[in-house]
Structure 1
Amino acid sequence: MPAASRSDHHPLVRKLESIFTLTDDERQAVLDLPMQVAVIEEDQDIVREGNRPSRSFAILNGFTCTYKMTGDGKRQIVAFCIPGDMPDVQSLHLKVLDISVATLTKCSVGFVTHEALWDLCMRHPRITAAFWRETLVEGAAFREWILNVGRREAYHRMAHILCELLVRLRAVALAEDHVCDLPITQVEFADALGISTVHVNRVLQELRADGLIETKGTRLIIPDWERLKQAGDFDETYLHLKQGGAAA
């Protein structure tokens, strides 16, 4: 496959390019990162809170979540991660992880040593800026999630998170128009939204009844994007994409 085509299809390049313009040399440098690729089954921790990793990883295929646990064993999902994301890149600077990352589906992940990432950043300062921008966008998303869980009713929380996921998937070419594969269970949505699984089921039924979403297995179809955005009070500005991920 020609280099340009390979870079266009590499998840990490796609993700960085959704928020930052890379030169051809920078794309190639990302492609040349020495990655140890591993396949990890669903519902497995990739890294855990308290770990002191010597490498970070990029999601190449599949979905993961970043989460925290309460003292009595309740899980709060604080982010859903999709191909191209590097959920633990902060471990390059913060030596002890304060989050855990688990697979939601069977995943392919590419592990890169911190030494290799430091070398990449030293040779390509603009790639350092791209990673910095990515961590800032991640922080903006955390703030939006706090608002979503803390101040919106369950119906609007769900509408908002569905909007976010569609926009992010479109940005890395994993959604067509307003249709995407979304293999997230009701239990996982419950852990992200801070409500019960029964409540998640009820909210999804209401969104379907109102004509805002359709589901076919893991397939999400959004027949009325503007109404879903309105229901979720959704403004994609906080994702800081180069182009609107879900623009009509």
Structure 2
Amino acid sequence: MTRPVSTVMSGKALSQTLGGNLGIEVPDHPLIRKLSIYTKLSLEEQRAIADATTKTISLQANDEIASRGEKVSGVNLLLEGFACRFKFLEDGRRQILAYLLPGDLCDLHVFLINRMDHSIAALVPSKVAIIAPARILRFTDEFPNLTRALWWSTLLDEAITREWVVNTGQRTAYERMAHLFCELFHRFRAIGQTRGLSCRFPLTQTALGDTLGLSSVHVNRTLQDLRRNGLVSLRNGILRIDNLEALEREALFNCDYLHLDNHRPTFSS
């Protein structure tokens, strides 16, 4: 993986694209959009988020957002693109641990540790905002509702990790690939990045193997089985689900762990 060639967006430019201090386009901010699934954020809370994400970095595919062993200086928020969390074994084998979509925080509490114990990289051209630790602490000190929403987001990350453990340990290759397709489709749909039953899916067969614990040959064979059964097609980085209900049934997929049903819990002070 290569390190990113960074560019820092000015506060004015970010205000035009993300709302910044204007309070007009703020709801289009990826993190605000994600947290709004769980709770209603006040305009003041929305502005606090936008103000915290004025420093941005542009990355190319395979650029590392954070590298194992490096000192942590802040929380990374994916604004645009698609990224993954991963670890390498000493012999070069890679395990992908999670996928990050726009609005996802790359480890909310990572600044509490000294150094990264894993790496995070962009899989396509992406944009990341760096949130200073002091800004996160300000959220916890001044905005209890926002803090609870961030906790909710962290719990979602943990729920996905638990499901991935079950996926690798108990589901067959066919089931686990179908399950990953279902999960990413639902996550993309929650942030408005699907068209009908299609979504972007910029993963190589090698990346699928590193995610699901399968060889390249097994990945190819499983993809062919899913296509042959009329469930999905994958072409030019686009995943098309031909029968979502059947795909979910084959995957033993239950969407509850994603908490994406627009339920907004009531947080009392």
Aligned to 2:169: 150
Gaps of 5+ in 1: none
Q: Which 4+ residue blocks in structure 1 deviate beyond 4 angstroms? A: 1-5
Aligned to 1:67: 86
Distance in 2 (CA, whole Å) between partners of 1:185 and 1:216 is 11
Superposed CA deviations along residues 74-104 of structure 1, whole A, max 9, x for unmatched, are: 1100101111111132213333322210111
Secondary structure in structure 1 of the residue aligned to 2:78? strand
Distance in 2 (CA, whole Å) between partners of 1:17 and 1:98 is 30
Code of the residue aligned with 2:105 in structure 1: it is M
Distance in 2 (CA, whole Å) between partners of 1:34 and 1:138 is 21
Structure 2 residue 145 is matched with structure 1 residue 126: yes
Deviates more, 1:56-65 or 1:117-126: 117-126
Aligned to 1:239: 258
Superposed CA deviations along residues 168-218 of structure 1, whole A, max 9, x for unmatched, are: 111111113321111111111110000012211111111111110123311
Code of the residue aligned with 1:236 in structure 2: it is C
Structure 2 residue 34 is matched with structure 1 residue 15: yes
Preserved contact between residue 60 and residue 110 of structure 1 (Cα < 8 Å):
yes
Aligned to 1:86: 105
TM-score by length of 1: 0.92
Distance in 1 (CA, whole Å) between partners of 2:262 and 2:159 is 17
Preserved contact between residue 77 and residue 103 of structure 2 (Cα < 8 Å):
yes
Distance in 1 (CA, whole Å) between partners of 2:147 and 2:67 is 25
Please list, as runs of the form range in 1=range in 2, the aligned pairs for 1:156-235 lying within 5 A after superposition.
156-235=175-254
Change beyond 3 A, Cα 1:185–1:58: same
Displacement of 1:226 in angstroms is: 0.4
Preserved contact between residue 60 and residue 126 of structure 2 (Cα < 8 Å):
yes
Larger RCO (alpha carbons 8 Å, 6+ apart): 1
Cα RMSD for the two superposed structures: 1.8
Identity across matched positions, percent: 35
Superposed CA deviations along residues 34-69 of structure 1, whole A, max 9, x for unmatched, are: 421111111122112222212111111111100122
Displacement of 1:156 in angstroms is: 0.7
Deviates more, 1:119-128 or 1:181-190: 119-128
Distance in 2 (CA, whole Å) between partners of 1:170 and 1:5 is 24
Code of the residue aligned with 1:49 in structure 2: it is R
Preserved contact between residue 20 and residue 242 of structure 1 (Cα < 8 Å):
no
Aligned to 1:108: 127
Preserved contact between residue 34 and residue 116 of structure 1 (Cα < 8 Å):
no
Gaps of 5+ in 2: 1-15, 264-269
